[in-house]
Structure 1
Amino acid sequence: MSKEVFHSLLKRYLEGRCTEEEKKIVEQWYNVLDQEGLPAYRESEFGAIDDRLWATLSKKLDDATESRPVSFFRRRSTQLAIAASLIMGLLVAGYFVRTDHTTPEAIAREAGATLQLRQNMTVLPVSLALEDGTRVTLQPGASLQYPARFAANKREVFLTGEAFFEVNKDRERPFMVFSQDLITQVVGTSFTVKAHGAGHPSEVAVVTGKVMVSRNTEGALLRGLLTEERQVYLTPNQRAVLDLETEELTVSLVAEPVPLAAEDAPAERIVFDFVETPLKTVLHNLERAYGIAIQPEDANLYNCAFTGDLAGEDLQTRLEFICSSVGAGYTIEGTTIRITGKGCPVNP
């Protein structure tokens, strides 16, 4: 069995095209996820999971087929059984995180306790503190379901509506926010989740740190293994929006970017008072201040110089001042700001 064939088996299962024999084998190890309290994967390990799995599987399959000649159908059955048993072992060892479609009931089972419910029925934001020190600000109409005490290896909550999270850092227990459509996973950061339900696009916007966002759908674990279920990583001033028609996650800049918080900002002070400063330096300072890529459409723009005091201004105002002084404009493409214009001639 090649690596491609192995992936094909899982892909066929997700698409409902497996034989009964294949289906039973895949479901046998997949159901382990509901029975084991597994630690969440570390982001640095995720890319190597598939290679480790296949390296082990391939060796075992080669050993099995070389030990004795068997018919094609018997060999195929043996290979599938070996694949199932190996994957079960890896799951129990904690190489995968349970990212299957999660509901409040599933979170309660994981935590081994009933969930508490906090609803904001007022017209003002309401704040609450979770047992790990995480603070959550619920917007009007929002509700949060959470355990009084989190599980030993992870922290999970379920959100309906909009809330701002300031997650207390705990690398041994990743924090996961589930909503009807999205899963947001972090270690320690601050971000906003909007999950207003049917008919409204779900959104995650990051203020500090880094988060991973994926769909909260059936079979999310298998799709993660096959890299078919898209997972996006967001950094400050970025947001992910779930398109209601295509069901795809689109990453872009937040509507009003703000300077990076202390934990994400450069250690040295960034200057915004310029005197005949090369545009390359001006734009680089903006990039570092906001964590946003700013690129010129034409390299000749770097020949321009800018003079002005931009301290205390927001990003839009700063860009408008800079562009108007050099006869340029700007557009936003995804998470990149592009400066448009012909630039300036080279000084003799």
Structure 2
Amino acid sequence: MEKLIPVELLEKYINGECTEAEISLVKKWYQSFEYDDDYISAISASEEKELEERIYNHILLKIGNIAEEEQIPEKLPYNFWRKWYTIAAAAAIILFAGVMVLYQQQQANLLQTADLNAKQLVSIANNSNQIYKATLPDNSSVWLSPHSKLTYPGMFNSKSRNVSISGECFFEVTKNPERPFIISSRSIITKVWGTSFLVNDNEESNKAEVSVLTGKVSVSIKKSDDGKQISTSLGKDEVMLYPHQKVIYLLEQHVLQPQSVVEEPALQIWKRADFSFENKPLKEIIPVLNAKFHVHIKAGDDKLNRYILNADMTGFNLPDVLEALKKSLNINYEIKANSIELE
């Protein structure tokens, strides 16, 4: 819509008193409505009703002023219609101005709501002996190992996706190069340039580790002022990691030590594999899982070994498999030291 024009100019146009330039301006203003955004469809029914009543009352007020000034004869003179066209034009201007103001208020409210959501932090503490899966606002997935903690905003901001952790968490991050994913833990900062990786930074340990399964990440030592603002670009003091690489941060020496590993044991359970079991007893399934994920799963009760499973587990990692066993066989599990016990 073009910029609103004065009511006086519309009245001149109705009276045929406009210059060629003024006529062109009025026509351009009128034609602009064809391509204007429909702001009314963006507001709620209650807001539309409120706006309608405000405009209607304003028009009634104008009509009331005319009625007080003069009696309307049976044969309506030209001046009467001129005033009514003027009122109609004014009402049109009031309508679009009112809708624009209401639309702008609605947009401001949406932005304010987004800011509030961004400031509201969500904290998840996994106090169990199982692995807990969380889904972030950008649909990224985080698996929290036992006794780990994850904190993230209710809505990520437009520049970056910042989370903080304590303990061990495995991430599968949704790609978005324009909004880097940044993880802050006790002693290190991890910036995500790829997809899946493991971060282990425990308050009770004298070291921290980051291991990459797919994609790439960069790791830097956390500084005292990192809580204020973390750069989203790659810094010269950051270590870049690629698949099957890891870095260890030694707390006492205050150094990062990159390492290349062919098979990182901590990553084995996060590798996705394809399984299909058709009427197989659990005692035959457990050895398959142990061999594939390099773990030690055992049944706490011998009767569990006779449970029969019929399932397609295509693209599952070990935590997904364990969750499927819980739901399909109605069993539970507990991570104990170097083993996983089904119960």
TM range (shorter): 0.3 to 0.5
TM-score, length-scaled by structure 1: 0.39
More helix by share: 2
TM-score, length-scaled by structure 2: 0.40
Q: Higher relative contact order by CA 8 Å / sep ≥ 6: 1 or 2?
A: 1
